Amino acid sequence: METSLFLIALIIIALVFEFINGFHDTANVVATPIATRSLSPYQAIIIAAIFNFIGAYFSTGVAKTITSGLFDAQFVTHSLIAAALISAIGWNLITWWLGIPSSSSHALIGSLIGGVIVGNGGFTAIKWSGLAQKVILPMMLSPIVAFFVAFIIMVIMSLMLSKNKNPRKTNNFIRELQVLSSGLLAFSHGSNDSQKTMAVITLALFSFGMVHSTETIPSWVIIICAIAMACGTLAGGMRIIKTLSSRLAKLKPANGFSAELSSGALILAASHFGLPVSTTQAASGSIMGAGYNGRGINWVVVRSMVTAWCLTLPISALISAGVYKLILLLSLG
């Protein structure tokens, strides 16, 4: 009975993380159409929620990477999962309150790694090559690639617009295109980010002996994670939306379309290859690339964002390690 209650509690905590992930990362999807006035905040959030839900069914490659590609799953215990979720939720709430677009994905991965290291696994339980290739390298490259792809798309758009004799009509058309591009970005966000929580719930089921392998994600897990993310998206995250939509770079409809197309395509490609990339970093890099004209970027905001990105993995790992030790002390007491 106690085992069943603890498992249910873990699943609820995981869904809380997914809900927070939804409203924490809503800004990545809706910031550009809001900034360019293509959509109202509520229209943008509703579209994001719908496509986030659909995107969650796209693939399970990212979930499999987390359950088997970063550490040995046999060292994952119930207490470790609880500590990792509490740590990731805490870091997300701190950065949300400060209005800093940090990565929910890296907060969760860092928390799991911190728990595994201080648990029975130690440093040898971490698959360092997998961590470097599937987390660290994409973390470093995704905002850079997103920046240049968005910049190139924006250059092409600018050349096309320079020959246009009716810019107002063209801007209205691009605003309509932004509805599609923001839907693409929301779909890609759901296809990548929702899978992290699917992986955590699957690890919890594995640790309780409810499933015999972490390679297959149960269908009901996919459904409840998709619902939790969609509900979180509907709740919105206006603090971070304000940072991305107005403080990071000044955007016009063409900039917004370029940013969404760049980050959406990049995240979809990452999902296809099972890479748990940060939607926040891809979206932020795209917005900077699309808005770059030598003076259109607020570099003070960029510096605070990059600092948060660099600190997320180690700090979440340390918080998780501390929470895990505290849980063990309380259980012994």
- Do the domain assignments include residue 330? no
Out of 133-137, 161-165, 228-232, 287-291, which region has the weakest mean confidence (pLDDT)?
A: 161-165
In the chain, % of residues over pLDDT 90: 16
List, for residues 208-220, the tens digit of each pLDDT value: 888 888 778 888 9
Q: How far apart are CA 28 and CA 229, in angstroms?
A: 14
Is the distance from CB of 76 to CB of 208 less than 8 angstroms?
A: no
Q: How far apart are CA 7 and CA 81, in angstroms?
A: 10
Q: What are the structure tokens assigned to 2, written together?
A: 């106690």
- Do the domain assignments include residue 55? yes
Q: How far apart are CA 20 and CA 94, in angstroms?
A: 12
Is the distance from CB of 199 to CB of 278 less than 8 angstroms?
A: no
Is the distance from CB of 278 to CB of 105 less than 8 angstroms?
A: yes
Q: How far apart are CA 259 and CA 280, in angstroms?
A: 12
Looking at every residue in the chain, the average pLDDT score rounds to 82
List, for residues 39-61, the tens digit of each pLDDT value: 777 787 788 888 888 887 777 77
pLDDT of residue 326: 92
Range of the domain at 11: 2-325
Q: How far apart are CA 185 and CA 191, in angstroms?
A: 10
State how far the alpha carbon of 110 is from the alpha carbons of 71, 148, 189, 199, 318, in Å.
Answer: 11, 27, 20, 14, 8
Q: How many domains does the chain have?
A: 1
- Do the domain assignments include residue 331? no
- Do the domain assignments include residue 33? yes
Q: How far apart are CA 21 and CA 312, in angstroms?
A: 14
Residue 253 makes CB contacts below 8 A (sequence gap 6+) with 36, 38, 171, 174, 175, 178
Place of tokens 């966000």: 189
Amino acid at 173: F
List, for residues 113-125, the tens digit of each pLDDT value: 999 998 877 888 8
Residue 246: HSE in the Cβ half-sphere, 13 Å Cα cutoff = 9
328 C-beta neighbours (distance < 10 Å), count: 16
Pick 1 or 327 by higher pLDDT. 327
Length of the chain: 333
Q: Angle at CA 200, nearest 5°, toward 195 and 202? A: 90
Is the distance from CB of 75 to CB of 52 less than 8 angstroms?
A: no
Kindly tell me the sign of the dihedral angle through the C-alpha atoms of 304, 294, 144, 57: positive
Is 80 exceeded by the pLDDT of residue 168?
Answer: no
pLDDT of residue 315: 92
Is 60 exceeded by the pLDDT of residue 4?
Answer: yes
Task: Read off the pTM.
Answer: 0.81
